[in-house]
Every structure is written in C-alpha cells, then in structure tokens.
Structure 1
Amino acid sequence: MPSLKTLLLVIVMLSSALFASSPDRYNVVWDSPSKDQHGSMPLGNGSTGINAWIEPNGDLVFYISRTDSWGDNGRLLKVGKVRIKLAPAPASNDFLQTLSLVDGTLKARYGDTDIRLWVDANNPVIHAEFNGPQKTAATASIELWRTKQFSIPSSWECSDVHLFRPRPGEKWGNLGPTVMEPDNLLNNKKDRIGWYHRNIKSVGPAMHAKIQGMADFKRTDPLLHRTFGAIITTKNGKKIDNTHLLSPQSKNHRFDIYVHTEHPATEHQWLNALEQLIAQTESIPFEKRRSAHAAWWKAFWQRSWIHATQSSKNEISKSLIPANKLNFSFGIDSNGNSRFAGKMGRTSLLNVALDENAIRQLAQDQESLSGFNPKELLFSATPNLHTELPNSDQWTNSPALTAEAWILPDTHAGSVRILNKTLVGSNEGFLLDTYPGNSLRLIVGEKVLMVKDCLVPEEWNHLAVVIDSQAGTIALYHNGEKIAEEKPERSLTDAYIVSRAYALQRYINACAGRGAYPIKFNGSIFTVEGFADGKSRGPDYRRWGSGYWWQNTRLPYISMLTSGDVEMTKPLYKMYCQDLFEYHKQRTRRHTGHGGIYVPECMYFWGEMFAETYGKKPFEERKDKLQDNRYHKWEWVSGLEMTFMMLDRYEHTLDEKFLKETTLPFATEVLKFFVEHYQTDKNGKLVMNPAQALETWWECTNPMDPVSGMRAVTNRLLDLPEHLSSPKLRQYWAQVQAKVPPLPTREYQGETIFAPAEKFAVCKNGEVPELYCVFPFRLASFEKANAEMARRTLHHRKARGNSGWRQDEIFMAYLGLADEAQKNLVGRAKNKHKGSRFPAFWGPNMDWIPDQDHGGILTKAFQSMILQSDGKKIFLQPAWPKDWNATFKLHAPYKTVIEGQVVNGKITKLKVTPKSRTKDVVMASDFKQP
C-alpha cells in the first residue's frame, strides 16, 4: 500500500495539473519533527501570526505575534508562547507535516494522531485541532518569558532612548536603565486561561517629541496603556492553574486561542473587548468559519500566480548523483573495506527509472531478467563480490538510474557495502549498504535514506533503488515494496526554486500584511529567539530595532499591485500618508521654516525620528534644526517614492477617492518641500545643495534619487485625467516640473553613464542611486532610448549583489537583461537562512530573519521579468529567460488582468481582461532586445 507521503505527492501532482492557480506544488513538507523554534512554520491572518513547530515528543509549540503589539520601549513584542501536549504522546516514527498553502493551514500526522493548526483569516483566533482513534488528554500551557522586570542590553532592540543616559558632565536627568515590564496572567477564569501585557509607562515618544520640537503636536501617546494578550478556551475545559488548561479524555481536542490588542485600555477594558470578540466569533458556526477561512485563501491564490518550469529544450535534468571518477563496486568501499559478508545474487543497473510495477516483477523472479530494452540495460549478472565494475564511472551521469540486487545478508554482518560509487567519508556519489546491522542505508549525494531493521538475515532479500532526476525523486524498495522516498532539495530545478520562493514570500506577506501597521522589514512578525554577540536575546529581539526605515519598508510592498494584493498596501499608506500627514507638515515647517512635507528615512510609527538619528541636542538649542545623522540628514526621496507608489495604486485600481483624498494632497506637499527648500539657478532649475544620494554619496548637488523622483512624479501627475484635479493644481505641477534639473550623467572610461548626482564627493555606503532612474522611477528602461546608457551604468556599478535590500535583479529586469536577471534571481532564491528550516526564511543579510527585503526584491524581480507596464502599455516577457516556460496570471494598470502561458520562449496562450486592453499589450517579439 502506498505511504502517506506517496499519496500526498500524487495529490499535489494531480491538483497542480488540474488547477493552474493551485499553490499545492509549493507546499512545505517535512517528514520529521523539529528540534526547536528554528524549525518553525509561519501561519497568519494578516494581523496575528504564529511560528509553529512539532517537537520529537509530539508537543505542538508556537509563538504568537501581532502587527500592533508594541511594548512600552517601542519594540514590537511577541504576544506569547503556547505549548499543547497530548497524554499519551504520539508513539510512532511515522511523521508527516505539511504547510498547506491553499488553505493556510499546518497539517500533520504523528503516528495515528492528526493535527491541524490555522489562524482564522477572518477572525482573531488560532485553532489547534487534534484527532485520533484512541482517547487522549490534552493540555495547553502558557510559557511566559517576560515574568519579571529586566533591562534590555542593546540599543538596536528598543526605542534607543538609553542613548540619552547621562555621561559625566551632561545635564540630562538620570533616565535609568531601559526596563522591560512583565506579562500578567488572568486569575478569575474557571474554564479558560489567558495572559496580557499592558504598557504601564511609555518610554520615548514624549521625550523624542520634546527634543525634536514636536511636543505641542496633539495626539494620544502611542505606547502608554497599549494592552495585548490572549485567552485560551477548549470544550469542557478544566483549568489546572493559571498557565495550564486541560481538555479531558477524548478522541478529539480543539483549543481556541483568541488574540487581541486594545489601545489605550485598562485590563478590564481589554478583557471586555476580547470577550466581545470571542462571543462574536463563536456566534458563527465553526464549520462556517472554517469554510470562510479556506475561501479567503482560495481567492487569494486565484488572484495571481507565476509558475516557471524548465523549457522542453532543457527538460533533461542533471543527475541527482554527484559525478565522480569511481567505478561501481560490489560488496566493498573505495578502500576495499566494509566487505559484504553475505551472498549477492543477480544485480542490475539500468539507465531508466523503473516504475513500481516493474520493480515488483523484478522482486518476484530471482533468476531471469527480461523485457528490457538492451539500450537501457547497463549491467545484469551475479557479480564477483569485492570487485569493481570496469568502465562504469559515467553511469551515474544519466538523469535516471535503477539499481536492483538480490542479497542474502549474514546475521552478524554489521556495516557492509552492497553497491558503492563514493569515496570513504564522502557523500559525493552513490552508496547502498546495511547500516546499522540489518538496516538499509542509501546515500545519494547529500540525501541519506535509512530504514531500520528491514532486512531478513540469512534469507534472500530483493533491493531496488530508483533515481529519477526529472521527477526529482529517490526511492528505495525492499521485496517489491517502496519503503522510503525523498525529493532532495538539490534536485529541484532553478525554475521551481524561484517559483516556490515567489509563492512562499507572497504567502508570508499575506500572513502579516493586513494588520494595523506596515510589515516590519527586519523579520516581519515571524522572528524567533535571536542571538547577538553570541548570547540569546530572547524571542523579542530583532536587529535594527523597532522603527521603520523607508528604503527597507517599501520592499515587501513593491510587488503587491502586480499580484493583485491591493488591500495589503493599506497599512503602509495609512501610517505614512494619512495618520501622519498633518504631523509631517508641522515637523517640516518646524525644522525648515517653510511649507511642504519631507518624510525622514528613519522614524517610529508615531512619527518621531530615532533618537540616534535626530541627535540628543534639544530643538530649542539648535541653529540647524534638521537631524544630526549624516547617513540620513538630507535623504528625502521617501516622499517621492511613496507618491510614485500611490500613483501606481491609482492606475491599478482607478480609486478616485483615495487619489483625491490621500495621493494628490500628499504629492503636492512633497513637491512643495523641494521647491521651497532649494534655490534655482539662472536657468530656473533647482540647485539641490546641501543634498545626498541615498545614504551612499554625501556632499552632493542634484542627486539622482530626488531629481528622477520629481521628474517621474510630475510626469505622472500631469498625465492624470484633468477632471481629477483643478487647473490651478495642474499649473503648479507644471511649474514644479519646469524647475527639475536634468538627470545627472558623467563620463566614465570613455562612455556616458548615469551619475549618482551632478556633483558627488564622499562615498559612505553601498547603494546604487545612479540607477534610481531605472527603479523605482522607470525613466530609463529596456524600451526607451536611454536603455543602453542605463545598461552601461549597471555594468559599471561598484556596489552589487543579490541578497538583502540590493536591487540588482530589478535593475536587470527593467533593462531587459534576461540572463543576468535570471542568474541573480536564482542565487537569491537559494540563499535562505541556514539556521532556519523553512525555505523562505531569508537572512539575516543586512537586516534580520526572515529578511523581508530579500523576499520583496525577489517577488518584484520575478514579476518584472515577465510583465512590466508604463502608462497604458503592457510589456510581456521583457526579460524572460529562454530556457524557462511559465504559466502566469498578473495584474496590470487600469484594472487589467493578464493570464498567459510561455512555451519555449513564446507566448502560446494569452487572455487579457478586459479585452479592450489587448491593443495595449506589446509582445517580446515586437521590441528590440539588448
């Protein structure tokens, strides 16, 4: 009978073939439990997230997180940790855990126990379900780590106010250590347990506001009395104590963990609000909620997809067996040792992957071998034991291999070789032996398959190994039955690895992208226990702290319109462009003495800049009111990028209300800042000095990022339909555009290329501002007259790479460089965090784990290789590699959906909705490639 894993793989293959939108092909499947939190899987509903894992003892454990669980030091804290234990625990080695993407659910089977864990897509609740044939008891426990006050050691972990601790001779009062307050357990619940964290103080906002000259801006303290926590319930639950809840003996258990944040709130107010949410949720039948949850995820996956595969011209996969120069040997290792002590009968090697029926037939006849194409048969005979087979060194280079052997193992054989083509101590090759004792061990490169005590000593056993590089599978058979199968990571094609990375990153975005605040670039809400300086910093740690850095924050969002995930962009614009709009205006007036808006690179969600960024000298004592930190002092491209992205949003959604109420007022104030902040030259052009190009080039005049940003934004504003703005406003935009200096260029090695700025002197970082005219502002791209100059600029760039926030793949895609973009993108997709088990936990790179910048660049680059747009034009395959096929569904401006298929470099199927937009589609064959 086929194993559970085999059935799962068959189901995945069938579903993927039948439904183009199905993400099942990218399900994450593990066949063993996880040691700790570094083997966690992410789940979430956009606001509440969990990192979940199943330990070897059968315990289900998960951290709970929120997008709005800000502590009193400004850190985004974990809500808590829950463990669920069965008694008796699962007592079997049979384990399979799957992240089912199609319904956002962790599904596992441990022995005869089925486990299901999911965060309701529509309600603030986590469901943990356990079902089995035998009665068990189940206990949910709360595992708090914030149990007492403690000091936070690192400035990057909190609101960095401890940078203001007094030094000898300084006048600032003694602020004392930065203290984390403990969580609180609920005491008065009979049939449930719970906990909460309440900010009894607020450390940072008031002080920051005073130092930065914004103390008189009226608002509610963003941290004080913010309260968040959870309540755990279960049917017929019995509270053991404040941290343990028992679900009595039953074949079925379900724990419901309700999570909520209330601000500002007392404990009583938070508890009442959560009880109301529980009542509202439970008023909806459970199965109806489950169906609605599955429907949300189904609709999400049906919005868009990109599935890339190797083209038919490249369909032969490389062998899963690492090449070496050794011959096959029978019954010995490469040194002539580990000698097989039993007997060997017929042994065969074929350069095809036999199916299960053929393997069964081989296992039924020990004497003859017939019915095979002679071209497929490499060797078949009773071999001479303890010898090697001449001229067999190339046989493992074939994409398929079947090895079969009859063996009679000795009772006390120990570790012995059966078939060997690998050096002792190396996994670079192929090895089949008995280890330990009468167990079987198969080594194929880095993949090791072991089945304990399966051989029958002093009896004939039939063994078969089938390696299918095209399918990416390794299977081990005993007496005609499959006893082990693996799909090695290294066997996956580059196209699949990139497609899976794209799907999993989009999934992670969905798990955290519908909350009250934007996605944190440095780990989102899926950080686990962090280590710094060799020491554990606990589960609340993340490098670069709790604030938002715009150049990093934007990256998870730059692909969302093309994937159709517009609603996930709301928290970004709500914080930056709506909630803080008036604050930005007052700060700009206070710091510069003129109108408009500038948005600093580094700030907290409540508006103030980081203390380290602005500096500790009070506003009233400053002659220069701007921030001190030279990496950000004149870095002002943020507002232009936000405006450009919001104009993208309008083109995709045609949402006139958002355009008029948010985008246009914000855009106009951002432009006003530059016009009023800088003087003009004799030609009426702005002279942006002092200025800088991103963080990288200091002492600049007319840097590329604001120059290209102003030009791109004014172009798009003036291209809007006239009824969406007033003549006065359009006249102002035109006047601003006339003041924008030309894109800066320079001569380099006898060629003209784009420059970081008209004048630039001091390099302090590793960004590529000279290519901001390519991305994000698309003033230079593959179809434009300046494309070749942009390509020269790309190839002459000093800073380069394909990890973290580096944008090289996007530059390459925008410039039509398919091969370069493909190579960089494949490298990015393979570059996961080695300490994390989940394949899309990137980092730390320059940020933290999982690095959302790394994934954000990946998703945008992959999209841009197959689809780009400029105004109403839609370009297909502008940088799509010739050796990748694809099926795709993506969103383009003007509410357009493009669905198509690429085969051997050509679009073979194309559906444009609405059909009227077909005239605006430009095929790859219609424009000149570089």
Structure 2
Amino acid sequence: MTQSEFTDSRRCKNVTQFVLLRESMPGKWSILIALSLAVSSFAVAQSVSQYDVVWEAPSEDSSGSMPIGNGDIGLNLWVDPAGELVFYISKTDSWSENARLLKLGLVRVKMSPGLWEQGMVFRQKLNLGGGQIEITAGEGERERRLRVWVDANRPVIFVEARGERPFDLEAKLQIWRTHERRIKGAEAVSARGLTGNDKNDYPIIVYPDTIATGRADSVVWYHRNEKSCYPVTLKNQHLGGLLQKYPDPLMHRTFGGSMLGEGLRAVDGVTLKSQETRNRFVLEIHPLTAQTKTGDEWLELLEKQVERVDSQDFELARAEHRRWWESFWDRSWIHVSGSKAGDEAHVVSRGYALQRWINACGGRGGYPIKFNGSIFTVDAQVGDEHFDGDYRRWGAMYWWQNTRLPYWSMLAAGDFDLMGPLFAMYSSALDLCKDKTTIYYQHKGAFFPETMYFWGTNGNCDYGWGHPGPETINQYIRREWQGGIEITAMMLDYHAMKQDEQFLSETVLPIAEEVLTFYDEHWDRDADGKIRFEPAQALETWWQCVNPTPEVAGLRHVLQRLLALEEGVRRSQVAAWRRMLRDLPPMPVTDEDGKRFVLPAEKFDVLRNSENPELYAVFPYRLYGLAFGNLEVGLETWRRRRVKESVGWRQDSIQAAYLGLADEAAKYVSGNFSTWHKASRFPAFWGPNFDWVPDQDHGSVAMIALQRMALQDNGGQIILLPAWPKNWDVAFKLHAGMNTTVECEVRGGKVLKLEVRPGSRRSDVKLGSQWQ
C-alpha cells in the first residue's frame, strides 16, 4: 500500500475530497467539485465535532479506553502512564469452542524516545467526523502524532505514527490464552449457556491460541476451535437428529490476524521492531475469521486478504474511509441546544451521537450487536476477582428483550445497513426453529426462544441439563416467545421505510408466516372460537397468564400491518391473516372508576420480574398513543404502571414519548445520557445496570425516546414534535416511511425550518398539538 506523508486532520479536510476526484476528473472542474464536496463534508464534520471526546492525560488502564471500529472489527484504545499505546482487538464473529465471543488479542505500541512522560503536553481525541482517534504528545521537536483508524470499507487496522524527529517503534502482541484452563465460579457466567451442569461432565475449558512462527516481517496468530459445544447443546435439547442437517458453526472456526508494517521486522513470534529510526511508521493489523478444514488453509486466506487490502492505494483508502463516516453522519442527526435547556442539551446531544457511534463501530459485522458490551468489553474486576478481556456477564446468547433495543433506534436514524446482521441471524435460524417446533410440539410454524444462541437454540443452562423438555427449566423464559412477533413488526417498519419489495418477499414474509402459524396452531380455541393463550406468560414478569398483552397486542399489530400490504402477498395469506385476526381474543382492557386501562393479561399471577407488559401496547406495538389513537387508555395505563424507572432496558422514556408526555420523556432521556459507568472514562460506556459494560440498552432506549419526541410516523401521517419540550431548541434530520426524510429546526419555541423530502410528502406532516 503506497503511503504518503502523515497530515494532521486539521489541515487535510479539503485534501481528502480532492484525492477521491483527482483520478477521474482532471483539470479545474475536478478542483471546483472537490471544493464543493469539501464544504459539504466540512459542515457535517463540524456539526458532529462538538461531541468529539478529548482527553488531556493518559489513562490508568483499560477502563480508560476509547472505542473505535468499522462495524466488524473493534478496538478499545488508550495510552498508559508509561506512554505506550495499548488496544484490545475484537471482532463480531470470533466465537470460541464454548460459544464465547473472544477478543483477538491486545497490542502494545512503544516509541523510543517515548511518546509521553510526566509533564509533557498530551491530547487524545476521538474524531467522530473522520472516524479516527488522534493523539498528540509533546511540543516542538519532541512532538509526536498518532492516528488510529479501522478502515470502514476493508478489514484492516491502521496505526500511523509521526514525529518531528526520527524515532524507533516496537509493536508487541499480548495473548492471555496460553494454555488449557478450566473456568468456573463467577467467571463461568461468560459461558453461561454451559453453566448449571451439576454433574460437571461438560467442563468449560479455555484453549490456547497459536503463534505462527518463522515469519520475518509479520506477527501472525490465531485461535482455532478443535472442539465445540454445539453437538452437546443440540443433543441435550433432543435435537441431535438435526446435527447433519445443520452443520456445526463453531467447529474449526478460526480467528486471528497478521501484524506488519514497512520498516518493521519480527524479532520473535509476537514482536515487531523498527530496523532504523524514521519520522513516520504505519502499522497494519489484518484480522480474519473463517471456518476452514485446516489451520494452513486459514493462513492462506489471511495472506490473500493482506495482499488484497495492500493493493489499494493508501490515500484513496483513507479518503474513502473518511467519506463513509461523513456519509454516516449526514444520514441523520439530533442537536439539542438553547440556554433554557442548559448543560443537559449538550449531554443529551453528545449521548445520542456517541451511542450512534458505538452502534456503527460494532453493528456491521457477521452477527448482531451484543447487548451486554457489544465488542467493547475489557478486562474487569468482579468482586475480589479480576477477569480477562473475554469476560462479559450473561455470556454469549442473545436475549431478545435486550438485543432489540439498539435496532429500534436505527430506523429513524436511517442506519438501515446496521440492521442487516440482526435480520440475517433470525432468517438463518428460521429453518432450525421450524424443525424444533415440529419435534417438540408436533405442529407447524416456528418459535424463537427468548435467550438464543445465534444458531437458534437455548443454552443448556436455560433448557436444563438432562431435562425432558420440551419447555425450558428456566421459568423466566419458559414461554416467552413473543420476540418472533416483535422482530416481524420491526421488519415491517423497515419495509415501510425502505419500500424494499425483495426484503419483504425473501425475509419478512417467510418469518411472519412461520411465527403466525406457530401462534395459530399452538393453543386451542375457546367456546367463542377465540385463541386462548394458556398456559402463557407476560414477558419474564408474570409467569401464569391467560391472553398476555404482549402477544395479543403484538399479533393484532402485525396482522393489521400485513393486511395493509398492497403488493407481494397471496390471496391465501390474506385470508389466513383475516381469519387469525378475527380469532384473536380482545385486548385485556378493564374499567375502574370510569377509567379504562390495559392489564398485563386477561388473567395474571406469579410476579417474578419488573417489566410493564401492559405498556407493550404502546411500544413496541403502538395500539395506543398520540399518533395511533386510544390516547386516554394509553395514558391511564402509563399512570398505573407498576415499575416507574428509566435505566438499562426499561422503556418508560420511549412510552412517554409515544404518549406525548414531553416533560417526562425529556427527564428520562436526560437522566439516561447523564449516567454512565463510574469506573469507565468514556462518557457513553453505560452500565452495567442489568447487563454489562458498555450496556447497549441504556443509551439505545434514550436514542429511541429522543427520536420519538421529535417525530412519529403512523404509516400515513408524520407528526412533528409530538413530545418535544418547549424549552429545548433543536435541529434534526430523521427518517420516516416511504423513503422520507424530515429536517427541522426549532428555536425559541418556534419552527424556523422544515424540509421534507420528497416534497410530495410535505402535506403528510402535522405539527404536534402543543406546537400548533
């Protein structure tokens, strides 16, 4: 890869755009167009730059790390008190033998003379607009600059280092998986699917990584799964007959990387050192995950990947990287301001931008975002024990109630590409879930378990070791299957916004068909011909229910949405949906002292958790609310909710926004974005709350609420500022149905700007009642 002189980002905002154009548009027109694009990109960068995170001292340890990534590859990066640059490397698909999502390793970069020492100037900045971390240390001839970025378009990490005077550079890989080790006790929670085995006949073993020795110019390492918990999981859950049909996704999965750089030589299997002093070095790290028959085959794939990436012109690659991030920030934004809002305006706007940054850094890989840390977990002190960077509380499975929340925030943000991994995981698991339904219940359709490995089964800890089944021994999630309804609702929203008919036919309808069939066939009808959901439960909270609200409201919402589709559906499907809608029991609404409100279920007992299932009729299923009707019933349900709090995965702020409660929603949103993990330096590492650090629900809930405060779309009409407080000024750009974007500016309680694209949808926009 051809590498040009390192240029400080403050002096290259226009250069990057010119690089992109110089190849194809010679002459003065290319310069004029480049300057025009530069002005546009500069405006985007300026608007988000106010939320850049800047530190003026190094960090003590990994709790002072900054996150950066390209959607699949992530770093937790910091400069330690010794002046060394340190970072963990993570990946979205580095699943181990025990289905733990492992780090690839840790890298230390040392400069000589050192980057920083006590008394020197230091500045570390997360440059959101450029998608990079910039570090400056020292002054004059001692000044050094580092720029670290994970290419948005290619699987490679770059560390660029430059000094006013020549220096030496050393890069060292550190791995901690050096020998077989059994994990147990509190640490075993990070492999939670395999815990709870009283007989201890399946010990949880950490296996060592491999260093590929004998390389002169690179450090190469990998972890290769020669064992797998997949067979024991399926066999224990009476699904062993499916092992041939659905190949093991863990066995021989291999992940690692290659570290190299011009002017650097390998001095041992884990260290690169400069041969001579230079003013500039560029360190490259190329991560790779693949399932291969042999380790050598993986090494061949890695070599080809390095060749392919390095064939790209370096400056062009960096310009394209920057352009990706500029385009990302230009999709949408919410900037809260105004003297009346005070400091909370900046806190809210910064929290929104930083959570969106974390979503983008970890949301475009092979698998969905992990609610319990994404790919940005670090080593942690838990009680009296210190666990390595592979630890995360609640382990590797996906809890639907937690996993969904980052994805609901992506719709209005226009981050549709980030939603692909979630939809792909559920689509890929559909066939196994259909077969599982047939084996367990002898009827058609499919259910998705609440706590699910990416391939579609429970963990054995929830199913129960040696449990006869078919339902789980874990009563919290025994019949919590409504996630299949909700992901269908989310997919229908995606389709309504993107108008992607291929997505409808290939993804939405196959999942909708099987989920609805399951709910249609699994329960009996009562004397009136209505489906009677019993036995059932309302989320994890009420364990003994008849006709729980999440199921009844969710099915009603989804069926009505499906029946509203004008194209791409068969007559037989429409007839079946109409029949099922007719057969649904009524919503569990009651009347007390002339006030009507929704109950958690028609009948409910055995309280075990702290959700408000009745408010699922407000969000995510939107039967009651400002934009959807029955507002008074929704408000009375809200007033009577049992748990009143906004933290972690709690949804009070979102539901307040849907009900037009501007002050309540604003209070909750401000509270969420003001509260991050006390031991973490980065101001969007929330948690742990109910999960782990960084908690991906805490910030995402606040994102969703802030969006719905600014804009709500009921499928035909767009309500502007439905729950926006008068004392908050704002400028925003958000997405709505039918490929619509709405850009609005509010100052001093007045709407100063409103742009709707396409213009044909301008007549569909209506101001919220308090703004009329």
- TM-based fold match above 0.5: yes
Counterpart position of 1:665? 510
The CA RMSD over aligned residues, in Å, is 1.9
Shift of 1:907: 1.8
**Structure with bigger gyration radius:** 1
Alignment partner of 1:299 is 2:143: no
Alignment partner of 1:113 is 2:140: no
Shift of 1:275: 0.9
Residue 605 (structure 1) aligned to one of 440, 445, 454: 454
Counterpart position of 2:233? 208
Per mean C-alpha deviation after superposition, the further-off stretch among 918-927 and 850-859 is 918-927
Alignment partner of 1:289 is 2:138: no
Q: 1:670-708: CA deviations, max 9, x gaps?
A: 111111111112222111100000000111000000000
Counterpart position of 1:641? 486
Shift of 1:816: 0.2
Counterpart position of 1:188? 214
Alignment partner of 1:800 is 2:649: no
Q: 1:752-775: CA deviations, max 9, x gaps?
A: 321000000111000010000000
Counterpart position of 1:571? 421
Q: 1:496-542: CA deviations, max 9, x gaps?
A: 10111000000100001110000000000000012223211111100
Which amino acid counterpart does residue 144 of structure 1 have in structure 2? I
| Secondary structure of residue in 2 paired with 1:554 | helix
Question: Taking structure 1 as reference, are residues 682 and 901 closer, same or farther at Cα in structure 2, changes over 3 Å only?
Answer: same
Percent of aligned positions that are identical: 45
Which amino acid counterpart does residue 221 of structure 2 have in structure 1? W
- Paired with 2:45 and 2:327, the residues of 1 have a C-alpha distance of 13
Residue 158 (structure 1) aligned to one of 174, 191, 195: 191
Shift of 1:236: 2.2
Counterpart position of 2:225? 199
- Paired with 2:283 and 2:407, the residues of 1 have a C-alpha distance of 34
Q: Is the 8 A contact 1:192 1:233 kept in 2?
A: yes
| Secondary structure of residue in 1 paired with 2:412 | coil
| Secondary structure of residue in 2 paired with 1:505 | helix
- Paired with 1:898 and 1:657, the residues of 2 have a C-alpha distance of 25
| Secondary structure of residue in 2 paired with 1:98 | strand
Shift of 1:239: 1.3
Q: 1:706-727: CA deviations, max 9, x gaps?
A: 0000000000000011x31111
- Paired with 1:131 and 1:25, the residues of 2 have a C-alpha distance of 26
Query: Where does the alignment leave 5 or more consecutive residues of structure 1 unmatched?
Result: 167-173, 318-492
Which amino acid counterpart does residue 41 of structure 1 have in structure 2? M
Which amino acid counterpart does residue 156 of structure 1 have in structure 2? V
Q: Is the 8 A contact 2:182 2:206 kept in 1?
A: yes
Q: 1:446-482: CA deviations, max 9, x gaps?
A: xxxxxxxxxxxxxxxxxxxxxxxxxxxxxxxxxxxxx
Q: Is the 8 A contact 2:622 2:628 kept in 1?
A: no
Counterpart position of 1:383? none
Q: Is the 8 A contact 1:155 1:163 kept in 2?
A: no
| Secondary structure of residue in 2 paired with 1:296 | helix
Q: Is the 8 A contact 2:148 2:158 kept in 1?
A: yes
Shift of 1:147: 1.1
Q: Is the 8 A contact 1:20 1:887 kept in 2?
A: no
- Paired with 1:524 and 1:597, the residues of 2 have a C-alpha distance of 27
Q: Is the 8 A contact 1:21 1:304 kept in 2?
A: no
Alignment partner of 1:123 is 2:148: no
| Secondary structure of residue in 2 paired with 1:164 | coil
Which amino acid counterpart does residue 821 of structure 1 have in structure 2? A
Which amino acid counterpart does residue 84 of structure 2 have in structure 1? D
| Secondary structure of residue in 2 paired with 1:558 | helix
| Secondary structure of residue in 1 paired with 2:171 | strand
Question: Taking structure 1 as reference, are residues 689 and 66 closer, same or farther at Cα in structure 2, changes over 3 Å only?
Answer: same
Alignment partner of 1:903 is 2:752: no
Q: 1:236-267: CA deviations, max 9, x gaps?
A: 22211111101231011111011110113422
| Secondary structure of residue in 2 paired with 1:284 | coil
Shift of 1:786: 1.8
Equivalent positions of 1:399-414 (< 5 A) are: none
Q: Is the 8 A contact 1:227 1:261 kept in 2?
A: yes
Shift of 1:155: 3.6
- Paired with 1:517 and 1:913, the residues of 2 have a C-alpha distance of 33
Equivalent positions of 1:586-735 (< 5 A) are: 586-618=435-467, 622=468, 625-721=470-566, 723-735=567-579
Q: Is the 8 A contact 1:69 1:78 kept in 2?
A: yes
Shift of 1:905: 2.5
Q: Is the 8 A contact 2:92 2:375 kept in 1?
A: yes
Counterpart position of 2:721? 877
Which amino acid counterpart does residue 324 of structure 2 have in structure 1? W
Q: 1:122-173: CA deviations, max 9, x gaps?
A: 111110111011111000001111111111124421153243241xxxxxxx
Counterpart position of 2:764? 920
Which amino acid counterpart does residue 516 of structure 1 have in structure 2? G
Counterpart position of 2:94? 69
Residue 58 (structure 1) aligned to one of 83, 107, 111: 83
- Paired with 2:512 and 2:731, the residues of 1 have a C-alpha distance of 37
- Paired with 1:626 and 1:656, the residues of 2 have a C-alpha distance of 36
Counterpart position of 1:47? 72
Equivalent positions of 1:436-515 (< 5 A) are: 493-515=343-365
Question: Taking structure 1 as reference, are residues 265 and 34 closer, same or farther at Cα in structure 2, changes over 3 Å only?
Answer: farther
Counterpart position of 1:263? 291
| Secondary structure of residue in 1 paired with 2:465 | coil
Q: Is the 8 A contact 1:16 1:24 kept in 2?
A: no
Counterpart position of 1:758? 602
Q: Is the 8 A contact 2:189 2:195 kept in 1?
A: no
| Secondary structure of residue in 2 paired with 1:160 | helix
Per mean C-alpha deviation after superposition, the further-off stretch among 207-216 and 510-519 is 207-216
- Paired with 1:873 and 1:20, the residues of 2 have a C-alpha distance of 32
Question: Taking structure 1 as reference, are residues 20 and 77 closer, same or farther at Cα in structure 2, changes over 3 Å only?
Answer: closer
Question: Taking structure 1 as reference, are residues 565 and 259 closer, same or farther at Cα in structure 2, changes over 3 Å only?
Answer: same
Per mean C-alpha deviation after superposition, the further-off stretch among 550-559 and 748-757 is 748-757
Shift of 1:57: 2.2
| Secondary structure of residue in 2 paired with 1:628 | coil
Counterpart position of 2:634? 790
Shift of 1:890: 0.6
Query: Where does the alignment leave 5 or more consecutive residues of structure 2 unmatched?
Result: 1-7, 15-38
- Paired with 1:639 and 1:755, the residues of 2 have a C-alpha distance of 22
Which amino acid counterpart does residue 115 of structure 1 have in structure 2? L
Q: Is the 8 A contact 2:380 2:389 kept in 1?
A: yes
Shift of 1:207: 1.1
- Paired with 1:179 and 1:785, the residues of 2 have a C-alpha distance of 55
| Secondary structure of residue in 2 paired with 1:761 | strand
Equivalent positions of 1:389-400 (< 5 A) are: none
Counterpart position of 2:17? none
Shift of 1:110: 0.7
Counterpart position of 1:411? none
Which amino acid counterpart does residue 224 of structure 1 have in structure 2? M
Counterpart position of 1:335? none
How many residues align structurally? 727
Shift of 1:93: 1.5
Q: 1:153-194: CA deviations, max 9, x gaps?
A: 24421153243241xxxxxxx625311001111102111112
Alignment partner of 1:229 is 2:256: yes
- Paired with 2:460 and 2:203, the residues of 1 have a C-alpha distance of 16
- Paired with 2:674 and 2:711, the residues of 1 have a C-alpha distance of 23
- TM-score where L is the length of structure 1: 0.76
Q: Is the 8 A contact 2:627 2:719 kept in 1?
A: no
Which amino acid counterpart does residue 140 of structure 1 have in structure 2? A
Which amino acid counterpart does residue 610 of structure 1 have in structure 2? G
Counterpart position of 2:3? none
Shift of 1:896: 0.4
- Paired with 2:128 and 2:42, the residues of 1 have a C-alpha distance of 16
- Paired with 1:15 and 1:783, the residues of 2 have a C-alpha distance of 35
Counterpart position of 1:562? 412
Which amino acid counterpart does residue 157 of structure 1 have in structure 2? S
